[in-house]
Amino acid sequence: EDQVTQSPEALRLQEGESSSLNCSYTVSGLRGLFWYRQDPGKGPEFLFTLYSAGEEKEKERLKATLTKKESFLHITAPKPEDSATYLCAVQLTSNTGKLIFGQGTTLQVKP
């Protein structure tokens, strides 16, 4: 069965304290791995797509990496405005484009 698991479920950081979020996946064939940010009461906002092991992408304080079994979202020197739920999702080679999401990691950054 295709599965996506994110850890930790919740993470509290002090402003400036760097950390990483994990997304582990077990799938039949990976077309792409996606990271989204979701603020309370809002829809998910696209951050990154990664397609092959070894690929890395960066945006401001965020950097996403991909291996054959997992992806990491590294947050460098976070600010309170980085507080949100971060969702990881996979798209399979065998399907029509639907995303299979993990349950998310809720990040709180305290000033």
* CB of 72 or CB of 101, closer to another protein: 101
Contact yes or no for 60/78 (Cβ under 8 A): no
The residues near 62 (Cβ < 8 Å, ≥ 6 apart) are 35, 47, 48, 73, 74, 75, 76
46 binds another protein (CB under 8 A): yes
Q: Which of residues 65-94 bind another protein (CB under 8 A)?
A: 87, 89, 91
Contact yes or no for 50/64 (Cβ under 8 A): yes
| Chosen residue from 49, 57, 72, 74 binding another protein by CB under 8 A | 49
Token representation of residue 70:
């997992």
41 binds another protein (CB under 8 A): yes
43 binds another protein (CB under 8 A): yes
The contact set with another protein (CB under 8 A) reads: 4, 6, 31-32, 34, 36, 41-46, 49, 87, 89, 91, 95-104
